[in-house]
Homo-oligomer: A and B are copies of this chain.
Amino acid sequence: MCFARYGYEGATVRRLEEGTGLSRGAIFHHFRDKESLFLALAEDDALRMADVVAKEGLVQVMRDLLATQDGADWLGSRLELSRRLRTDPEFRERWAERSRNLTLATRARLLRQREAGNLRDDVDVDVLTAYLELVLEGLVSHLAMGLPADDLEPVLDLVEASVRRAVGGPS
């Protein structure tokens, strides 16, 4: 995604043209300005994430983030995002709605896993949802700061195991 790769400031219209395969005219025919495009792309990202969550769970979203972080200017986008969240109430509201959708998708997936007998049943699903989201926030922050991430796969294995039902046999 262009904004992740170059940061909000670096995502010039030229790069947006390359990234989306659309012409400048087409881009601004659909989107009033860069800000609207940023929101639309973020919305698109969120939908894709909710889709992966529904099929494979939030830990898989984290694994995908780990796999595709390469070369992305996460920090630029995150700084822009934080700044906007703090200063723009309308943006904050739209963002909160997106977060709620991801929460709902995660919760629904966990409920299905519980019904299938794959989930630990001694902890409330809401707590498990908040737990996975907190780890996701940590991962995003970690990647955004550009900290080394090559040792995080077994950490995500541990996270996944800690929401699963503990069994005597193979897990």
Contact = CB atoms under 8 A, between A and B. Distances in A.
Contacts of A127: 151, 154-155, 158
Contact of A124 (B86, B123, B136, B154): B154
Contacts of A138: 134-139, 141
Q: Is the interface of A mostly helix, strand, loop or mixed?
A: helix
Interface string A21-55: 00000000000000000000000000000000000
A18 interface: no
A67 interface: no
A82 to B, nearest CB: 6
A32 to B, nearest CB: 26
Contact of A134 (B79, B123, B128, B152): B152
A45 B123 CA distance: 33
A144 interface: yes
A86 B135 CA distance: 23
Contact of A145 (B82, B135, B139): B82
Most buried by B among A124, A134, A151: A134
Nearest to A85: B145
A14 interface: no
